[in-house]
């Protein structure tokens, strides 16, 4: 989501909401309630850093309590401020609603530059922040469940868990107070690739819709589609991997230092290793360098995946973009000006608010795992394998033919945690895509998929309030 000089980030989210709300028939009071941030906790606390005491500014915002717990990451950044945290918390409410993750939106932030502190100091800050949240009941498996965001990762989540457990020693569900933890601390397998894989599932579902593809002049399916990826970080790398593995050609990859192009397709792992060894993506064997990284955004291709930064496609370069589909893997890669240009050009923008929801979806699976106290697949894996072996044995006996050894291994396999997490993510992204498209189809006045996604979110949150009886 874009911040312009005229209005704040939260205002900008509110504007997108209002634009979509026009396509719903909810009572204005319900719409006001959905938009508002329910609880905003701004705190300041002292932490001893070396010989000095530093006063740290931090926030936790619970945007919506229509479902509990609230859910949303914690970022460490000097840019953190109340407006930003409120906007990000609101977006989490809508994102969770779209992908049917039964949480309200939340977000947290600590206004620090994490690079300026040692690991020991960061641990002190994180633990103190957690105890402030505990004091005000702003964290807990049933109230508010943080996760990693910009500047934080599994390490910080493990510190949060440990602090929470220390202060709730007999709470049996304590592990569900935070997600994005290391697997050894109750994390779930499949979190690392979740966002990139979710992006792939979402785009694949769009590409499987014959009517949408016909409008764009494309064939149905992923096979043979040309893809450009901006950013070879966690999200971009996994997007490229899954597109390539399913028969698409990743013809260009852009990083901040430049971009590379090969019309036959690039292998993301080889590119990643090349960049690691040489310190640059450029001069990759059998590919052409594009010295200006943003040139990659303007290449002729079927699918463009911006997976790096916000605002990279704007009023200036949008008229030169030739992709047929833009999949917003990053948060806010398009400005509102770019959106308008793409609506006019008939380019399909698949919006960030749901497309990059793989992370929160798998966080939901982690929370469920923590509450059930059992690894996914543990109970049924062996039973399934025994049943499948029996069925194959019967088929071989009845037909007198042996099932191919490779096929046999595949069919016999009982689901592990990773299989179930991937399958749950696929189901989530496919359903969300279909629901948004249904909303879009139901009202031809809705200008784009982003607005349709907001309408889908508003309808779900409003229904939830209405069914609670708050607004008879
Ligand atoms: P990351 O830091 O792992 O990767 C970002 C990559 O972009 C890096 O390799 C960086 O060098 C590259 N980059 C920076 N500037 C660039 C430029 N000007 N041109 C091309 N490449 C550039 O981050 P990530 O986790 O992959 O996140 C990427 C985006 O996806 C962000 O907008 C993030 O908010 C969003 N996102 C991430 C997740 C997640 O689970 N990681 C979830 C939802 C949304």
3-state secondary structure 232-268: CCHHHHHHHHHHHHCCCEEEEEEECCEEEECCCCCCH
pLDDT in tens, 185-224: 999 999 999 999 999 999 999 999 999 999 999 999 999 9
Alpha-carbon gap, residue 30 to 23, rounded angstroms: 14
Instruction: Please confirm, yes or no, whether 276 is among the known catalytic residues.
Output: no
- pLDDT band, residue 459 (cuts 50/70/90): very high
What is the reported pTM? 0.94
pLDDT in tens, 51-87: 999 999 999 999 999 999 999 999 999 999 999 999 9
Looking at the CA of residue 308, tell me the nearest atom of ligand 1: 7
| Confidence check: pLDDT of 471 > 70 | no
Residues 307 and 418 occupy one common structural domain: no
At residue 178, what are phi and psi to the nearest 5 degrees? -155, 150
∠ at Cα 52 (50, 58), nearest 5°? 100
Looking at the CA of residue 195, tell me the nearest atom of ligand 1: 40
pLDDT in tens, 265-278: 999 999 999 999 99
Residues 70 and 199 occupy one common structural domain: no
The 104-110 sheet, strands edge to edge? 39-49, 52-62, 104-110, 70-76, 144-148
What does pLDDT average to over the chain? 95
Give the chain's domain count. 3
Residues 337 and 401 occupy one common structural domain: no
**Domain containing 294: what range?**
194-355
| Confidence check: pLDDT of 244 > 50 | yes
| Confidence check: pLDDT of 447 > 50 | yes
CATH number of the domain bearing residue 49: 3.40.50.10860
pLDDT in tens, 119-139: 999 999 999 999 999 999 999
Catalytic residue among 35, 95, 107, 369: 107
Domain membership flag for residue 176: yes
Q: What is the mean pLDDT of residues 5-33?
A: 90
Q: Are 287 and 268 in contact (CB under 8 A)?
A: no
Residues 255 and 380 occupy one common structural domain: no
Q: Is the CB of 335 under 6 A from ligand 1?
A: no
Residues 171 and 280 occupy one common structural domain: no
Q: What is the pLDDT of residue 39?
A: 97
Q: How far is the CA of 384 from the centre of ligand 1 (A)?
A: 39
Domain membership flag for residue 417: yes
pLDDT in tens, 329-377: 998 899 989 999 999 999 999 999 999 999 999 999 999 999 999 999 9
């Amino acid at each position: 989501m874009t911040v312009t000089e005229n209005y704040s980030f939260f205002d900008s989210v509110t504007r997108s909401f209002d634009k979509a709300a026009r396509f719903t028939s909810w009572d204005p009071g319900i719409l006001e309630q959905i938009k508002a941030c329910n609880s905003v906790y701004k705190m300041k606390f002292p932490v001893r850093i070396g010989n000095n005491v530093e006063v740290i500014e931090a926030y936790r915002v619970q945007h919506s309590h229509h479902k509990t717990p609230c859910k949303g990451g914690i970022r460490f950044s000097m840019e953190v401020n109340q407006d930003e945290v409120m906007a990000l918390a609101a977006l989490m409410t809508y994102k969770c609603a779209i992908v049917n993750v039964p949480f309200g939106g939340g977000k947290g932030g600590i206004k620090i530059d994490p690079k300026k502190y040692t690991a020991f100091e960061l641990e002190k800050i994180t633990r103190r922040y957690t105890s402030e949240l505990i004091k005000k009941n702003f964290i807990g498996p049933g109230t508010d469940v943080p996760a990693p965001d910009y500047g934080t990762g599994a390490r910080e989540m493990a510190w949060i868990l440990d602090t929470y457990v220390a202060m709730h020693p007999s709470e049996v569900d304590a592990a569900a107070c935070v997600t994005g933890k290391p697997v050894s601390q109750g994390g779930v397998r499949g979190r690392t690739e979740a966002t990139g894989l979710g992006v792939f599932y979402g785009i694949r579902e769009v590409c499987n819709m014959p009517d949408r593809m016909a409008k764009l002049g494309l064939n149905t399916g992923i096979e043979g589609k040309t893809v450009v990826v901006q950013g070879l970080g966690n999200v971009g790398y996994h997007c490229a991997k899954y597109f390539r593995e399913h028969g698409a050609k990743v013809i260009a990859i852009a990083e901040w230092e430049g971009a590379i192009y090969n019309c036959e397709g690039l292998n993301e792992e080889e590119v990643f290793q090349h960049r690691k060894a040489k310190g640059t993506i450029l001069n990759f064997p059998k590919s052409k360098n594009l010295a200006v990284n943003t040139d990659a955004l303007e290449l002729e291709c079927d699918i463009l995946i911006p997976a790096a930064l916000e605002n990279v496609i704007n009023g200036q370069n949008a008229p030169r973009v030739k992709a047929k589909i833009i999949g917003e893997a990053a948060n806010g890669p398009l400005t509102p000006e770019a959106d308008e240009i793409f609506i006019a050009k008939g380019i399909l923008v698949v919006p960030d608010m749901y497309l990059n929801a793989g992370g929160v979806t798998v966080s939901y699976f982690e929370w469920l795992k923590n509450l059930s106290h059992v690894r996914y697949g543990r109970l049924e894996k062996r039973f399934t394998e025994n049943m499948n072996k029996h069925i194959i044995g019967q088929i071989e006996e009845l037909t007198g033919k042996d099932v191919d050894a490779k096929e046999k291994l595949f069919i016999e396999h009982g689901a592990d945690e990773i299989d179930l997490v991937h399958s749950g993510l696929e189901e989530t992204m496919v359903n969300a895509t279909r629901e948004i498209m249904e909303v879009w189809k139901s009202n031809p006045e809705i200008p784009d998929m982003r607005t349709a996604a907001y309408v889908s979110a508003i309808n779900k949150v409003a229904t939830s309030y209405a069914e609670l009886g708050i607004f008879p």
